[in-house]
Structure 1
Amino acid sequence: MSASKQSTQRKRTGLGALAGAGDHAGGDAGEDFSVIEAIGGPRGVVESMLPGVVFVVLFIATNDLNLTIGVSAALAVVQVIARLIQRQSVMGALSGLIAVGICLVWAWKSHEARNYYMLGFLTNGVYAALLAVSLAVRVPGLGLVIEFIRQMPTERFRAWFRDWMDDKALKRAYMIITALWLGLFALRLAVQVPLYVTDHVGALGVTRLIMGIPFWALAIWVSYLVIATPLHRHKAAARAREATE
């Protein structure tokens, strides 16, 4: 894969898609930016959701935790093998396999199906805490991530940091989307933890699916709408400065 293709793929996946948001601001923004591609494409969506769907459906149908764990684990492995056979990138499927593996081991060791979702609670809690701290110190966490993806500060970190932090409009946009993502993680915990505590595994599984990829896609799309214009103007100003130097 060429460097240009790798860059394009990076920008169109997850938060990397937001790093290229300024490139698509304007009349063709809706055509260039795809939420489906930003969350991994149709296949990536299916691979992300399928183990969770199988887990909750099979457990509700059989109430057999060992069978549910075995089938879910086999499915995650098959997804990686399919990628290997087709000679496609396995990083997404492999990271998914590791995450599913941790969840399944947690449920198996504790003998409680609800603990399949414990890793998700921990990661959402950590993300929410980090974003809350970043808002408190007025350094938007999403801004750090997007700017790091957009232009990795291999040197002159202070200049890189001040470049986007001193742009009031861009910083404000980053603060808004950081608050948005903090709200997303907090909402997930507020809705799902009570279901975990009361051991409503079926309802918890369905809620996790609804608040998973669909919420992620919505957050990416809204974030794109918020930052596209200020990021485009920031990039244009940077190019103008370079042209005069």
Structure 2
Amino acid sequence: MTERPGDTETETQDKPEPTLLEQMGGVSGLVYSSVPIAVFILVNYFFGLQAGIWSAVGSAVAITVLRIVRREPLQPAISGFFGVAIAAFIAYRTGSAKGFFLFGIWASLVYCAAFVLSIVVRWPLVGVIWNVINGTGTDWRRDQPSRLGYDVATLALALVFGARFVVQRWLYDSDHTGWLAFAKIAMGYPLYALALLVVVWAVRRSDKRLKALREAQEEAEADTEAALRLKYSQRPNEA
């Protein structure tokens, strides 16, 4: 069967946008992110720290290779691999299983501080990142409701990272390594997904408002231009 011109274009246009879960790596992404942590805890419990460290790194490598073979998005796997590698290195240097979670704990605090600071200086990071990626400029900052929406979305992410730090730091100080692993998994993608719902709301709200404002401005400019043309076209008759 001969492919008709425009078929490919139509199929591309009709292809649905990826869902929030798909953007995060799908169900497999949720599972993959939990595997190295679970492997580390189990192997460390039965065979010791060194075996747990190498098993966690090995599982992260295996997941990356599996994604390559299955032609799945690599970004989550690569970022996950480096996260596991850094965590494993810290656990090795500290000689403690709970050290495996130390990097993530302090990273959460840094992220939380960055998001809060961006709100204080009126450059909410969600708005900055989204509009830089899409090349839409800084019109959103001049529209107060749009900036307020991005403030809310940025605050939602700040709360997620803040909660991660508080809970996991307490578990770390209390030497509850098993519960620390559970908290890292439970407070990972699930909380992040809830915050992303707020981000999606803010983005859509801002885009809708800015589009309406641009259309109103274009309409006003068109009306002004039409009025000027009418004015100049009537001058010879007045003479």
Residue number among 84, 100, 109 corresponding to 1:116 in the alignment: 100
Q: CA deviation at 1:219?
A: 0.9
Residue number among 75, 91, 98 corresponding to 1:91 in the alignment: 75
| Corresponding residue for residue 61 of structure 2 | 77
| Corresponding residue for residue 174 of structure 2 | 198
Percent identical among aligned pairs is 28
Q: Is the 8 A contact 1:73 1:101 kept in 2?
A: yes
1:47-98 deviation line (CA, Å, top 9, x unaligned): 22221222223334x1611121121111111112223333444333122111
Q: Judging changes above 3 Å, is the alpha-carbon distance between structure 1 residues 83 and 34 closer, same or farther for their aligned structure 2 residues?
A: closer
Which amino acid in 1 is paired with 2:144? Answer: K
CA distance in 2 between partners of 1:224 and 1:87 (Å): 27
| Corresponding residue for residue 3 of structure 2 | none
Q: Is the 8 A contact 2:64 2:78 kept in 1?
A: yes
Residue number among 121, 127, 136 corresponding to 1:137 in the alignment: 121
Q: Judging changes above 3 Å, is the alpha-carbon distance between structure 1 residues 88 and 38 closer, same or farther for their aligned structure 2 residues?
A: closer
Q: Which has the higher contact order (CA 8 A, sep 6+)?
A: 1
Verify: 1:67 aligned to 2:51, yes or no.
yes
| Corresponding residue for residue 20 of structure 1 | none
CA distance in 2 between partners of 1:240 and 1:41 (Å): 39
Q: Which is higher, the Rg of structure 1 or of structure 2?
A: 2
Which amino acid in 1 is paired with 2:207? Answer: L
Q: Is the 8 A contact 1:80 1:97 kept in 2?
A: yes
Mapping 1:21-36, distance limit 5 Å: 34-36=19-21
Paired positions, count: 208
Which amino acid in 2 is paired with 1:44? Answer: G
CA distance in 2 between partners of 1:65 and 1:190 (Å): 25
Q: Judging changes above 3 Å, is the alpha-carbon distance between structure 1 residues 225 and 90 closer, same or farther for their aligned structure 2 residues?
A: closer
Verify: 1:127 aligned to 2:111, yes or no.
yes
Q: Judging changes above 3 Å, is the alpha-carbon distance between structure 1 residues 193 and 98 closer, same or farther for their aligned structure 2 residues?
A: same
Q: Is the 8 A contact 2:106 2:165 kept in 1?
A: no
Moved more, 73-82 or 229-238: 229-238
